Chain A
Amino acid sequence: MDFFHAHQAQHYLVLGAILFALGAAGVVLRRNAIIILMSIELMLNAVNLTFLAFSRFPLVASSPTGSFLSGHAAVFFVIATASAEAAVGLAIIIAVFRSRTSLNVDEFDTLKL
């Protein structure tokens, strides 16, 4: 069965991988701190998609715990963590902006000290 007719996890996994790569590229390449935060969200959601894909199309016949809902559970944790992360991240960005009047991460290299 080729890739385009497969009713399996492949499509979701490929989409997840593309989204993850896009997010990673955004984190590495973009200079605006808010965009970087948004890219991180994108990566997290790519991971969520992967979780769900494996939850829907498990690789083994039966789960040792009786169901495959643990993937869904993991996604909820990720969403909760991501929202907390976004809150903290935005707070940091605001604080940084107040002191440096800039959101360009190239200017923030004090970690090397």
Chain B
Amino acid sequence: MEVAWLHLLPLLPLIGAAVCGLVGKWLPKGWVYAVALGSVLLSFLVGLRAFAGLGEGVQLFHQVAFNWFSAGPLRVDMAFTLDRLSGALTLVVTGVGFLIHVYSVGYMDEDPGYWRYFAYLNLFIAAMMTLILGDNLVAMFVGWEGVGLCSYLLIGFWFTDEEKAYAGRKAFIVNRIGDFGFLIGIFILFRQTGTVNIAQVNGAALPLGVASLAALCLFTGAVGKSAQIPLYVWLPDAMAGPTPVSALIHAATMVTAGVYMVARLSPLYVSAPGVLALVATIGALTALVAGLIATSQNDIKKVLAYSTVSQLGYMFIGVGVGAFFAGTQHLVTHAFFKACLFLCAGAVMHGLHGEQDLQRMGGLRKYMPSTHATFLIATIAITGILPISGFFSKDEILAQALHTRAFNFLTLTPASGIHLTFLGPAIYLVGSFTAFLTSFYMWRCYFLAFSGEYRGPESVHPHESPPVMTLPLWILAALSVLGLVLALPPSWVHGTALERWNWEHFTEGVFARPRGGSPEEFSALPGFGIALLVGWAGWAASYALYFKRGLAGDEVLTARAGAVRRALANKLYVDEFYGRVVVRPLWGLARGLWRIVDATIIDGLFVNGIPALIAWVGALARRFQNGDVQRYAAVTALGVAALLYVFLVRGG
């Protein structure tokens, strides 16, 4: 249905960003808060209204705001589509975004750059809305780059700290690598289909090779944005930004854009089953590696960052095995509990004067009851030891991976089939082991921070955060629990009032089905039993090691497998490896280009060389102009004599 108000969703936060950024410095603090929070809240209400309007009769709302540019067959509109998927994500982004805005009022209150902070945050919401709602790939790309820009600005928010500014640049550059692939993917799709409209691209029947190439290129963008192997290295460093930013951008929303993009283009991806297999494999590997690294980190935000990378891996498993609903469902539930976890970490840091090191926490349960309770709820949600949201959404992914038929027809030509039937079960095993790791490191984090005795310096007195910060925590914790309604297996809620809230049921018809078909009917119960066991095993291992011993638990592990732990604590030396293999050669190349091409050839040969040549010729010519008229006369006479000789004697 064509409507005329969808543009409000990105426009309102954009106005908020403009007001805060341009005049916020001179406005009273309360006004900046009102503008920043109000614009996101209004956007949320518009989203709610739109969401409520989606029903049996109305599949989607669509609006062409304006024609951005046209060139030949290329027509790019600033146009928005709100269907069930983008509508739900709109609510997540503006809703969670609003809560984090509220939280930020408490968190950033004492920072002199608060107006700049809120301008960036609003700009981020606007860009994210453009990304989610954009009805063509170019509009999506605008949002995609916009969120990247905001991410860069907010990671390096305290830019006077060189290390934080560096982290911002790292995030930006690593994302650029992915975005390059995204752009190439758009070009390929435009060349093949003659349009950049997502619905039309999805509707086009593309040859397998082209579809695979385009899907692969686009997935490169997703790998960068969603921090998957091999481009995940920026996300842990992105924790240099303010903690609410980590919660909003680097956990709940922006980093899931890659998953959203793959899900949005599900028809393209199911027509490229080889790429789907790659997506699932990379997701599984990322989940595993990030989960392993998270077990040995001592910075509370780094633990959560690697946890985010790991959970994003799960989402890619979901979309990779063709269960797009499962991947996006985990996206939504993860947004709730991971935002909650990050905000709790922020509250902990707030109460400990910026302390991030788990080694100097402990016993915070006494001092921060609300933070403790909400962290506990969110930890239960992510580890899945009790069946609330994370349990169901994660295990839906694992069950779909185990039973998937997406890899049964990895056909190069329709006739010759390549069957990767082992891949689904293999991913299931990796995912289940990662679930164990998830449970282990999250409970380790919980035990080290909240149980035992306080280990920090005497001078720091832990205290609870103000209500403006704890209220969002409680709401997000509640959502982490209620998220289970989304994620229940559809057969459990069939015919009940809850059915319309069920994500799989809700997104019926939004996603394409994999070529091999959907999994056959399977009973969810055995999978859930195993998942529960795995979750409890992780809890038990963590409890045995850390509950009584506290920090000494790490030493037990170090005694058993010191080398492994050291490698994990050093993030498997991936940054060092990239430094050697990518950054240093590039440095060398850049240095060579600078020294040889720039300094020697351009500066030396052209910029300075040509004037030097002219000066040299001039110096030579200057000898002839010595002001001595007699010499001129002599030369003239000799010249005339020579001419006469040539013309008269030699006969010219």
Contact = CB atoms under 8 A, between A and B. Distances in A.
Interface of A: 24, 27-29, 36, 105-106, 108-113
21 contacts: A24-B633, A27-B633, A28-B630, A28-B634, A28-B637, A36-B630, A105-B628, A105-B629, A105-B630, A106-B628, A108-B627, A108-B629, A109-B626, A109-B627, A110-B627, A111-B625, A111-B627, A111-B629, A112-B626, A112-B627, A113-B627
Contacts of A112: 625-627
B499 to A, nearest CB: 100
Q: Provide the main secondary structure of the chain A interface.
A: helix
Interface string B598-637: 0000000000000000000000000001111110011001
How big is chain B's contact interface, by range?
Answer: under 10
Top 5 A-B pairs, shortest CB-CB distance: A109-B627, A112-B627, A28-B634, A111-B627, A112-B625
A34 to B, nearest CB: 14
A36 B625 CA distance: 20
A27 B626 CA distance: 17
Contacts of A36: 630
A110 B625 CA distance: 10
Interface centre among B626, B630, B637 (most CB of A within 10 A): B630
A108 B629 CA distance: 9
Contacts of A108: 627, 629
Contact of B630 (A27, A110, A113): A27
Contacts of B637: 24, 28
A106 B625 CA distance: 14
B634 to A, nearest CB: 4
Contacts of B626: 109, 112
Contacts of A28: 630, 633-634, 637
A102 to B, nearest CB: 15
B618 to A, nearest CB: 13
A109 B631 CA distance: 11
Nearest to B628: A109
Nearest to B634: A28
Contacts of A110: 627
A111 B629 CA distance: 8
A44 B628 CA distance: 22
Nearest to B641: A24
A9 B625 CA distance: 40
A5 B630 CA distance: 39
Given A28-B630, A108-B627, 4 more contacts: A24-B633, A28-B637, A105-B628, A109-B627
A29 B627 CA distance: 15
Contacts of A109: 626-628
A28 B640 CA distance: 14
A29 B631 CA distance: 9
Contacts of B629: 105, 108, 111
Contacts of A111: 625, 627, 629
B152 to A, nearest CB: 60
A89 B227 CA distance: 91
A2 B626 CA distance: 47
Nearest to B631: A28
Contacts of A29: 630
A5 to B, nearest CB: 25
A48 B627 CA distance: 30
A35 B202 CA distance: 101
Contacts of B627: 108-113
B33 to A, nearest CB: 74
A110 B634 CA distance: 18
A16 to B, nearest CB: 15
Interface centre among A27, A28, A110 (most CB of B within 10 A): A28
Contacts of B634: 28
Interface in B308-330: none
A109 to B, nearest CB: 3
Contacts of A105: 628-630
A36 B634 CA distance: 13
A59 to B, nearest CB: 15
Nearest to A106: B628
Contacts of B628: 105-106, 109
A113 B625 CA distance: 9
A13 to B, nearest CB: 13
Contacts of A24: 633, 637
A14 B630 CA distance: 25
A48 B628 CA distance: 28
A28 B630 CA distance: 5
Nearest to A27: B633
B563 to A, nearest CB: 82
A11 to B, nearest CB: 20
Contacts of B633: 24, 27-28
A112 B629 CA distance: 10
A111 B630 CA distance: 12
B196 to A, nearest CB: 68
Nearest to A105: B630
A72 to B, nearest CB: 25
A29 B630 CA distance: 7
A24 B633 CA distance: 9
Interface string B449-462: 00000000000000
A68 B625 CA distance: 43
Contacts of A113: 627
B28 to A, nearest CB: 71
A24 B627 CA distance: 19
Nearest to A29: B630
B630 to A, nearest CB: 5
Nearest to B640: A24
Nearest to A111: B627
A106 B637 CA distance: 19
A12 to B, nearest CB: 18
A27 B627 CA distance: 15
A81 B634 CA distance: 23
Interface string B574-595: 0000000000000000000000
A113 B622 CA distance: 10
